[in-house]
Structure 1
């Protein structure tokens, strides 16, 4: 069996992003959203929360750096059986745990529990999002191998996902 070679900068980025996730969870668990925004306590929590919001995009970029690397062995079978299965199973288990918590511990009605089961519990948004990115990975890998095609794709993404929507929003807001 071949030894996996670690990429040091990705490990360091992962560590910093993990610290960011912990910071977000700590700051928002301290009744962040219920405090007076003019208070010093809110300002301090808001500073640390805002400083840490980089973490989810960093995790996404780490996944992209690994999965889109042409040297990374990623077959359809490995993608579905190893990576996507883990995400889907984890998501379903945590959804059931939270639904059980809301029903049994908090005494929520079945309609509320069903909304959580169909939707998603607050911070579980990341799992379906990353699963969706994993699903489009086979489409993106050929782009990543061809620099000009990748640059064209990124230009289109910039125009249609950011410049055009932002420009239209600014026009709508113009007095």
Structure 2
């Protein structure tokens, strides 16, 4: 019999990947657009809607990697999951390093010797400056490392104990650094740094939250509070970013960060929505599952097509960002999905996508 897959996770994974592509498409123009223009206002609006994608990805991983329903033994996690993600890191860091070396050599007219040296030194980037978006793979590798220990906790902890740990993460990992930063910026007063519990500032909080919602669920009243919090978080993030960007004449993304209560609440709201909509529904539908399995590959390769877009001297502002950005997002996502879908059928390549 074919393995049953939970529908909510398949659709949520696809949606989160699309949102991440949308975010990177927006920010490719957002950082360089003058803040006192209508274009920036539109880009900032779209940017504020797109920052929860990575958090959702991590919550999906936590929902399955930490659940007692799924047999992820320490041996399986460390010898299969971790090894696979490390292989992805090595391959793609070197791939992007070589591409960058060749592009820089072509643009600057560097000699063959210098270009070859840059290509050969690509492995050093694993420990220095990998391609920006590949940070996510390092975060997942770290979560896999602590997964065996976290599974001991989730297999024995009560519902309230898991919620207790999430509350600590929310208070000290998200709210405390946010409040401290704002007090320092507006009142020249900074909270004593050791009040914060340093270990709480970690994606393990998202990881555990995904497990909690998927395994224990939340009631209707709690969901309404989560949805209200998600909407309010978006409003705060958008208006604060717009105001501070205009005030300082530079794009400000403080409330767009992954470790902000606004981003966390938006991710939780989206996760809850999909989980509730498709709750207890499973499927063996091969097309949906095959597409869902491509999403990590889509995340990894889509920046190549954003680079190509600018390589042709095109602009996200023409004819208008409200039109160009969504259309290019769909194009980047579609091309990436098509390529990954085809490459995953090649035995020697699929393990890297």
Residue number in structure 2 paired with 1:84: 82
Aligned-residue RMSD, C-alpha: 2.6
Residue number in structure 1 paired with 2:48: 50
Q: Distance in 2 between matches of 1:40 and 1:170?
A: 27
Residue pair 1:84, 1:134 contacting (<8 A) in 2 also: yes
Aligned positions, number? 173
**Which residue of the other structure, out of 154, 161, 164, is the alignment partner of 2:173?**
161
Residues 103-134 of structure 1: CA distance to partner in whole angstroms, max 9, x if unpaired?
A: 23212866896774423221111000111111
Which runs of 5 or more residues in structure 2 are unaligned? 189-353
Residue number in structure 2 paired with 1:15: 14
Which runs of 5 or more residues in structure 1 are unaligned? none
CA separation of 1:167/1:44 partners in 2, compared to 1, >3 Å: closer, same or farther?
A: closer
Q: Which has the higher contact order (CA 8 A, sep 6+)?
A: 2
The normalised TM-score by structure 1 is 0.83
Residues 62-114 of structure 1: CA distance to partner in whole angstroms, max 9, x if unpaired?
A: 00111111111101222122211221111111111122123232128668967
Of the structure 1 ranges 32-41 and 5-14, higher mean CA displacement relative to structure 2 is found in: 32-41
The normalised TM-score by structure 2 is 0.44
Of the structure 1 ranges 144-153 and 159-168, higher mean CA displacement relative to structure 2 is found in: 159-168
Residue pair 2:19, 2:53 contacting (<8 A) in 1 also: yes
Residue pair 1:99, 1:117 contacting (<8 A) in 2 also: no
**Which residue of the other structure, out of 112, 123, 128, is the alignment partner of 2:133?**
123
1:96 aligned onto 2:94: yes
Residue number in structure 1 paired with 2:26: 27
1:41 aligned onto 2:51: no
Q: Distance in 2 between matches of 1:113 and 1:37?
A: 36
